[in-house]
Amino acid sequence: MQVYTGNGKGKTTAAFGLALRAIGRGLKVYVIQFIKGGFDYGELYIADKLPNLKLKAFGRGKFVTEKPAEKEDVKLAEEALALAEKVIKSGEYDIVILDEVNVALDLKLIKTEKVVELVKSKPRHVELVLTGRYAPAEIVEIADLVTEMKEIKHPFSKGQQARKGIEY
């Protein structure tokens, strides 16, 4: 199980890089995006064109930052987790990426214990990748690989807007 976390750019990008490499080797990949549904992300335009890649995004197209979160955000995150359970336990996919799941955990949209339980019960051949800032200690502890993206410098701090194809 891999975790990409931290306050720097590149967590989702790293996960999709892994997905691209895996697809190139004939592996099957399923990406489940927490709190990203309804946004205009570039990966949504290519996912259905790549063989062996399935992507499902959950969210209402609004940045979720408030605690406690709105009921609709909790409902969507729970739906994403239910799909993750089904996909992981099916064993049909070689890699399952839970994009931004760490943020969903931090916002208390889903319970850390449920994700830990899911990780521990996954089939051995399934590579699980969890992305997002604020990875909880329980997730870091059970992971095989943890990479922390650390922001040193970012164009946003100088007022540059997000760029199509680069940041989204």
Q: What is the mean pLDDT of the chain?
A: 96
pLDDT in tens, 2-29: 999 999 999 999 999 999 999 999 999 9
pLDDT at 156: 84
Bond into 136 cis (ω within 30): no
Confidence of residue 56 (pLDDT cuts 50, 70, 90): very high
- Percentage of the chain with pLDDT > 90? 85
Q: Is the dihedral of CA 75, 81, 58, 130 positive or negative?
A: positive
Please state the pTM of the whole predicted model: 0.94
- Beta carbons of 40 and 162 less than 8 angstroms apart: no
User: Which residue shows structure tokens 């089939």?
Assistant: 123
* Second CATH level (architecture) for the domain 2-152: 3-Layer(aba) Sandwich (3.40)
Nearest-CA neighbor of 58 among 84, 95, 87? 84
